[in-house]
């Protein structure tokens, strides 16, 4: 039996069982990972279409296709769905589920039933949130009081949905933390774990610690709307700024829930496609933890012009700059990993390079926003909109796309189509920059965000931005069509097409239900590329 492919063809895989129930009730972390991925992509497309409608409306000043109320509802849906339903679970629920047991040499997560339960809570919460589409909410995804208490639109379903999804997030986080502590294969000590695991671990810690705060905040908001208890509305004796503190106490750490897994993905991709060990392993690993912890202390940078005391603003500004340092260090480490490597520009690596470019812009424009004197001018303008799209889309979503290509052969057992994938990448990269670079410029010129109408002086940049969004949208469609086509028609993938040393690649593609025939014995880290001398 010298022909390896023959052997693989008869091996049972986790995809073999068919039928709706075999998926809906599965306890297999790999299947759950795929289910999250499909669900999240559906919501991503839906929210993406909302984003395109926003760009369509902004093509001309005044009314283009819809009235102001509809516009306000559409940008709210775009933001709320993208943040709470797509990017927060994002890479962690999808690839976290699929990869954690495979990477640490385990057969599944530690609580498979809880894992299934978390998935259905997530779907339930998302559906509750969608009930609000009957009379869509118009508060913006930040639900700022007192507007969110007074508006006639359906605030309750969506905030309650987010509340419910919070449980899914907490339970998944717990599951991952315990799994990583308890189920590592023999010999896999903390410093041999892949960096994706470190990132998933830090993310899980934030999920468990921060999510309860948003859950309580949203409950208070609901109580205020239903029973008229005055927590946040000054007309009832409440404090509207208090809501902002609560909200950002969760929603800033959430930025790291969204971005840390992306750091994990790129730390896996660059060594494989550069054939070099990751540079500064410990620096990357511990800086994730540092970011997770300091990230809890910077929420106030969203409130510099809300009416907070001057000295508080200074403390928050200082801490914000502090958190920038570990992030910068990571970028140097990834660059140093490429230095003198053997760089193979396959699609996942292209996304990784794209990420480094976009994330550099995200980080540097973050410097402007963290600087107190500049923040006053830029706060609530398009500069902020562009900045967080560079982090969320240029960062997290780009790495989600990278992961969808990189682990495609492992998940499906087929190869993705390289040529089309590269074309899609080019469209996405160009479209993205064309959409958001003009937004930096008009933000600097004073264009406020969440504006249905705008002064003619901003028209030119809005047109460029809308054209960019179209290119971006086409790129995403090409990418998805290519991947879906390859699920059915792709070439058969070998078990380790890119020559990775990580454990998920040491089993067959797609893996068997129990992941490994035998639990691996770990004797080294997973980045041992290159020639030792």
Partner 1 sequence: MNWLPEAASSIAGRVDNVIWFVTIISLVFFVFITALLVVFAIKYRRRSEDDETPYQVSHHTLEVVWTIIPSILVMVIFVYGFVVFEDLRTPPKDAMEINVTGKQWLWQFHYDNGKSTINELFVPEGRPVKLVMTSDDVLHSFFVPEFRVKQDLVPGMYTYLWFKAIKKGEFNIFCAEYCGTNHSGMLGKVKVLSPADFEKWKTSKEELIAGANLVEAGAELYTKRACIGCHSIDGSPMVGPTFKGIFGRQETLADGQEITVDENYLRKSIYEPQAQVVKGYQPIMPSFKGIISDNEVSALIAYMKSLK
Residues near Cu ion (CB under 5 A) are: 252
Between CA 142 and CA 138 the distance in angstroms is 10
Using CB under 8 A as the binding rule, whether residue 452 contacts partner 1 is answered as yes
Stretch that binds partner 1, among 66-74, 102-110, 186-194, 418-426 (CB under 8 A): 66-74
User: Helix or strand or coil: residue 250?
Assistant: helix
Nearest one of 1, 3, 2, 9 to 509, comparing CA atoms: 9
Contact (Cβ atoms closer than 8 angstroms) between residue 346 and residue 406:
no
Using CB under 8 A as the binding rule, whether residue 23 contacts partner 1 is answered as no
Q: Of the two residues 171 and 266, which places its CB atom closer to partner 1 in the complex?
A: 266
Contact (Cβ atoms closer than 8 angstroms) between residue 482 and residue 416:
yes
Residue 380 is classified by DSSP as: T
Contact (Cβ atoms closer than 8 angstroms) between residue 527 and residue 501:
yes
Using CB under 8 A as the binding rule, whether residue 453 contacts partner 1 is answered as yes
Between CA 280 and CA 282 the distance in angstroms is 6
Q: Of the two residues 35 and 385, which places its CB atom closer to partner 1 in the complex?
A: 385
Site for partner 1 in 410-429 (CB under 8 A): none
Q: Of the two residues 222 and 336, which places its CB atom closer to partner 1 in the complex?
A: 336
Using CB under 8 A as the binding rule, whether residue 329 contacts partner 1 is answered as yes
Site for partner 1 in 172-211 (CB under 8 A): none
Q: Of the two residues 16 and 69, which places its CB atom closer to partner 1 in the complex?
A: 69
Contact (Cβ atoms closer than 8 angstroms) between residue 95 and residue 265:
yes
Contact (Cβ atoms closer than 8 angstroms) between residue 27 and residue 110:
no
Stretch that binds partner 1, among 126-134, 185-193, 231-239, 413-421 (CB under 8 A): 231-239
**Residue from 11, 17, 245, 275 binding partner 1 (CB under 8 A):** 275
Site for partner 1 in 119-138 (CB under 8 A): 138
Residue 230 binding partner per list partner 1, Cu ion, none, with a CB distance cut-off of 5 to 8 Å that depends on partner kind: none
Residue 290 is classified by DSSP as: H
Nearest one of 290, 295, 285 to 263, comparing CA atoms: 285
Q: Of the two residues 122 and 316, which places its CB atom closer to partner 1 in the complex?
A: 316
What's the token pair of residue 295? Answer: 């990230």
- In sign, the C-alpha dihedral spanning 470, 472, 476, 481 is positive
**Residue from 105, 161, 300, 370 binding partner 1 (CB under 8 A):** 370
The minimum distance between CB 79 and partner 1, in angstroms, equals: 11
Site for partner 1 in 460-519 (CB under 8 A): none
Q: Of the two residues 31 and 78, which places its CB atom closer to partner 1 in the complex?
A: 78
Using CB under 8 A as the binding rule, whether residue 19 contacts partner 1 is answered as no
Site for partner 1 in 290-309 (CB under 8 A): 305-307
Bridge partner residues of 414 (DSSP)? 492
Q: Of the two residues 97 and 391, which places its CB atom closer to partner 1 in the complex?
A: 391
Neighbours of 47 (CB within 10 A): 20
User: Helix or strand or coil: residue 345?
Assistant: coil
Q: Of the two residues 365 and 439, which places its CB atom closer to partner 1 in the complex?
A: 365
Contact (Cβ atoms closer than 8 angstroms) between residue 81 and residue 43:
yes
Using CB under 8 A as the binding rule, whether residue 524 contacts partner 1 is answered as no
Using CB under 8 A as the binding rule, whether residue 353 contacts partner 1 is answered as yes
Between CA 526 and CA 503 the distance in angstroms is 7
Site for partner 1 in 147-166 (CB under 8 A): 147, 150-152
């Amino acid at each position: 039996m010298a022909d390896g492919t023959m052997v693989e063809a008869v091996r049972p895989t986790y995809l073999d069982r068919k039928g709706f129930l075999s998926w809906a009730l599965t306890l297999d972390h790999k299947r759950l990972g795929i289910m999250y991925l499909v669900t999240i992509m559906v919501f991503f497309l839906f929210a993406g279409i909302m984003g395109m409608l926003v760009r369509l409306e902004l093509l001309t000043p005044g009314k283009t296709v819809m009235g102001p109320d509809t516009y306000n509802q559409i940008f709210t849906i775009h933001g709320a769905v993208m943040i709470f339903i797509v990017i927060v679970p994002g890479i962690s629920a999808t690839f976290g589920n699929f990869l954690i047991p495979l990477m640490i040499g385990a057969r599944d997560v530690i609580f498979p039933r809880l894992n299934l339960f978390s998935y259905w809570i997530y779907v339930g919460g998302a559906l509750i949130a969608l009930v609000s589409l009957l009379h869509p909410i118009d508060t913006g995804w930040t639900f700022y009081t007192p507007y969110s208490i007074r508006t006639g639109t359906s605030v309750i379903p969506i905030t309650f949905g987010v509340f419910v999804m919070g449980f899914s997030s907490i339970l998944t986080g717990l599951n991952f933390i315990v799994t990583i502590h308890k189920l590592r294969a023999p010999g896999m000590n903390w410093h041999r774990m892949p960096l994706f695991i470190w990132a998933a671990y830090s993310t899980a810690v934030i999920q468990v610690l921060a999510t309860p705060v948003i859950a309580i905040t949203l409950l208070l908001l609901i109580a205020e709307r239903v029973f008229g208890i005055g927590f946040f509305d000054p007309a009832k004796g409440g404090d509207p700024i208090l809501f902002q503190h609560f909200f950002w106490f969760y929603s800033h750490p959430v930025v790291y829930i969204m971005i840390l897994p992306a750091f994990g993905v790129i730390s896996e991709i660059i060594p494989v496609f550069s054939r070099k060990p990751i540079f500064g392993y410990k620096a990357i690993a511990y800086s994730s933890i540092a970011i997770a912890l300091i990230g809890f202390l910077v929420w106030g940078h969203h409130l510099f012009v809300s009416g907070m005391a001057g000295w508080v603003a200074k403390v928050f500004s200082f801490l914000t700059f502090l958190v920038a340092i570990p992030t910068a260090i990571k970028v140097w480490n990834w660059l140093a990993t490429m230095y003198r490597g053997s760089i193979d520009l396959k699609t996942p690596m292209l996304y990784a390079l794209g990420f480094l470019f976009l994330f550099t812009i995200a980080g540097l424009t973050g410097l402007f926003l963290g600087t107190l004197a500049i923040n006053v001018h830029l706060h609530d303008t398009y500069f902020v909109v562009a900045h967080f799209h560079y982090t969320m889309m240029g960062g997290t979503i780009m790495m989600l796309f990278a992961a969808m290509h990189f682990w495609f052969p492992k998940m499906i057992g087929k190869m993705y189509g390289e040529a089309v994938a590269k074309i899609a990448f080019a469209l996405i990269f160009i479209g993205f920059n064309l959409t958001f670079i003009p937004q930096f410029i008009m933000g600097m010129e004073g264009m406020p965000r969440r504006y249905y109408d705008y002064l003619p002086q901003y028209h030119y940049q809005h047109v460029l931005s809308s054209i960019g969004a179209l290119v971006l949208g086409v790129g995403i469609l090409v990418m998805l069509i290519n991947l879906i086509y390859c699920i059915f028609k792709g070439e058969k993938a070998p078990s380790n097409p890119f020559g990775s040393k990580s454990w998920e690649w040491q089993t067959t593609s797609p893996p068997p239900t129990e992941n490994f025939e035998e639990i691996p014995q770990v004797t080294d880290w997973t980045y041992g590329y290159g020639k030792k001398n």
